[in-house]
Amino acid sequence: MDADYHAHTTYSDGSPLPEMCRAAEAAGLDAIGFTDHCIVVDDEFGRRERYDLVETYERRREAIERVRARTALTVYDAAEVSYVEDAESETAAVLDAAAFDYTIGSVHFAGEYDYTTAAPYADASESDRRAAVERYYDAVVAAAESELFDVLGHLDLPERMEALRGHSRRSDYERVAAALADSATVPEINAGRVHRSLGRVHPDPAMLDAFREHDVAFVLGSDSHSPAEIERRVPALREVVEDRDVALAEFEPTPLGR
């Protein structure tokens, strides 16, 4: 592996750009993609105020230019965009204007469900938990079909939460794989929870053959928020690629301004 396509800086909930670049160099990467959170429309979970790359991407672009001048790495000016089903045209307009090198589309919430916090599911019944998970995959399929994004982020996010873990089914992975096979969007192997609660990458390595059957290849993303995470997660990603014989997509965007 020579590119990590998913990392966060202080322009959302991550660490300073120069520190992240140094860690990427030390990890032996050739390229790093900075994908700060980009919340195009207000959502009921109030994240837009904290992660407003819509307002700050121009400033971040200048900061990225400064680190590019000091590193041999290819540095991508990219974004992790929350996918909102009924805001596709607004999202497209923002992405057109911002002209990121590439975008990751991530389902963090869908309908009434928030998949970033476990609290709402603690007292939910089994069938309610399954309904929440099924709804998640509906949104993932819609995100692939929207063709709004280059990459689809952390494919089985609900598995991060203990209350929802084990509620993803083979049939969910299969319909996502089928949608991706018909889409230009490429999924990522995401190491965001490899050393934390989940203890594995997204998506479930046991389900990778569902993607293989559809000839779906992946890009790699550490989802690091700190230099220490790059240091630990990049080797973990390399290990998964090797152990699981992951098919890597030909994905090499041209960085803006180069």
Q: List contacts with Zn ion (CB under 5 A).
A: 80, 106, 223
Nearer Cβ to Zn ion (215/226): 226
Would residue 193 be called left, alpha or beta, if left means φ above 0 and alpha means ψ between -120 and 50 degrees?
Answer: alpha
Give me the helices (H) in 161-226, please: 170-181, 208-212
Nearer Cβ to Zn ion (106/185): 106
| Helix 170-181 with 126-146: angle, nearest 10 deg | 10
Nearer Cβ to Zn ion (77/223): 223
Q: The tokens of 222 are what?
A: 């550490």
Name the minimum Å distance from CB 154 to Zn ion: 6
d(CA 8, CA 6): 7
| Helix 227-244 with 17-26: angle, nearest 10 deg | 40
Q: Which residue has its beta carbon closest to Zn ion? A: 106
Name the minimum Å distance from CB 8 to Zn ion: 6
CB 81 within 8 A of CB 91: yes
Name the minimum Å distance from CB 126 to Zn ion: 26
Nearer Cβ to Zn ion (146/212): 146
Nearer Cβ to Zn ion (172/223): 223
Nearer Cβ to Zn ion (101/223): 223
Name the minimum Å distance from CB 123 to Zn ion: 25
Q: Assign 3-state DSSP to the chain and report helix, strand, coil percentages, each to 5.
A: 40, 20, 40
Nearer Cβ to Zn ion (146/214): 146
User: What DSSP state is assigned to residue 28?
Assistant: T
Name the minimum Å distance from CB 29 to Zn ion: 17
Give me the helices (H) in 99-226, please: 126-146, 170-181, 208-212
Name the minimum Å distance from CB 102 to Zn ion: 14
Name the minimum Å distance from CB 63 to Zn ion: 18
* C-alpha dist (Å) from residue 85 to 46, 174, 233: 17, 21, 31
d(CA 54, CA 61): 12
